[in-house]
Chain A
Amino acid sequence: MTGFLILLVYVAIFAGAYFAVKFLVRGARKDFTSLKTVTFGDESAVVSNRSASIISILTIFLIWGAFTGSKMVPGFLQAPGPFVGETEFVYTLDDGNGNRDDATVFVRVYDFGEDAAQFDVAPGDGFAKDDSLSMNASRSKTILFDKNDEVKRKEGAQVIAIDGQTIGPNIDLETDKGRFALTDKGAISYTPPLGVQMDPVYLPPPEAVVSRLIEISSEGYRGSDLLTHLGYSLFRVVGGFFFGALLGIPLGYAMGLNGWFRGWFDPIVEFMRPVPPLALIPLVIIWFGIGETGKIILLFLAALWIMAIAARSGVSGVRITKVHAAYSLGASKWQIMRHVIIPNSLPDIFTGARVAMGVCWGTVVAAELVAASQGAGMMIMVASKFTLTDIVLMGIILIGVIGFGIDMLMRWAERVLVPWKGKG
Chain B
Amino acid sequence: MSGLGIENISMRFDLPNGGSVQALKNVSLHLEAGELMSVLGPSGCGKTTLLNIVAGFLAPTEGKITLNGHQVVGPDAERGMVFQQGALFEWMNVRDNVSFGPRMKGQKPAEYEDNVNHLLEIVGLGDFKEKAIYELSGGMQQRVALARCLANDPDVILMDEPLGALDALTREKMQSLVLRLWKETGKTIILITHSVEEALLLGERLLVMAPRPGRIHKEYRLPFADLGVGQDLREVKKHPDYNATREEILAMIWDMEEEIMGRTEATS
Residue of A nearest to B55 (CB): A328
Q: Is A239 an interface residue (CB 8 A)?
A: no
Contact indicator per residue, chain A 190-210, by CB within 8 Å of chain B (1) or not (0): 000000000000000000000
Q: Is B87 an interface residue (CB 8 A)?
A: yes
A324-B57, A420-B133, A423-B134 known; A330 vs B89 contact (CB < 8 Å): no
Interface centre among A319, A325, A424 (most CB of B within 10 A): A325
Residues of chain B contacted by A344 (CB below 8 angstroms) = 91
A319-B86, A329-B80, A330-B77 known; A343 vs B55 contact (CB < 8 Å): no
B97-105, B219-227, B243-251 - interface stretch = B97-105
Q: Interface of A with B (CB < 8 Å)?
A: 319, 321-322, 324-332, 335, 339-340, 343-344, 346, 418-420, 423-424
Q: Is B187 an interface residue (CB 8 A)?
A: no
Residues of chain B contacted by A326 (CB below 8 angstroms) = 89, 100, 104
Contact of A325 among B87, B91, B105 (CB under 8 A): B87
Q: Are B75 and A327 closer than 8 Å at their CB atoms?
A: yes
Residues of chain A contacted by B152 (CB below 8 angstroms) = 329-330
Smallest CB separation, A326 vs chain B (Å): 7
Smallest CB separation, A418 vs chain B (Å): 8
Interface centre among B81, B91, B154 (most CB of A within 10 A): B91
Residue of B nearest to A332 (CB): B104
A322-B89, A329-B104 known; A420 vs B76 contact (CB < 8 Å): no
For window 99-123 of B, CB contacts with A under 8 Å fall at 100-101, 104-105
Q: Are A343 and B89 closer than 8 Å at their CB atoms?
A: yes
Task: Give the docked Cα–Cα distance between A217 and B268 (Å).
Answer: 77
Residues of chain A contacted by B55 (CB below 8 angstroms) = 324, 328
Interface range, B side: 20 to 34
Contact of A328 among B80, B86, B89, B134 (CB under 8 A): B80
Q: Is B25 an interface residue (CB 8 A)?
A: no
Task: Give the docked Cα–Cα distance between A417 and B215 (Å).
Answer: 48
Smallest CB separation, A422 vs chain B (Å): 9
Q: Are B100 and A339 closer than 8 Å at their CB atoms?
A: yes
Contact indicator per residue, chain B 129-144, by CB within 8 Å of chain A (1) or not (0): 0001110000000000
Q: Are B75 and A343 closer than 8 Å at their CB atoms?
A: no
Q: Are B100 and A420 closer than 8 Å at their CB atoms?
A: no
Smallest CB separation, B65 vs chain A (Å): 14
Q: Are A329 and B87 closer than 8 Å at their CB atoms?
A: no
Smallest CB separation, B264 vs chain A (Å): 28
Q: Are A321 and B100 closer than 8 Å at their CB atoms?
A: no
Ordered by A's residue number, 22 sampled pairs between the chains whose C-beta atoms are within 8 Å are: A324-B57, A324-B83, A325-B81, A325-B87, A326-B104, A327-B56, A327-B75, A328-B55, A328-B158, A329-B77, A329-B152, A330-B77, A330-B104, A330-B105, A330-B152, A332-B104, A339-B89, A339-B104, A420-B90, A420-B132, A420-B134, A424-B90
Residue of B nearest to A325 (CB): B87
Q: Are A424 and B75 closer than 8 Å at their CB atoms?
A: no
Task: Give the docked Cα–Cα distance between A411 and B262 (Å).
Answer: 55
Q: Are A321 and B86 closer than 8 Å at their CB atoms?
A: yes
Contact of A423 among B87, B90, B100, B105 (CB under 8 A): B90
Smallest CB separation, A59 vs chain B (Å): 41
A420-B132, A420-B133 known; A328 vs B90 contact (CB < 8 Å): no
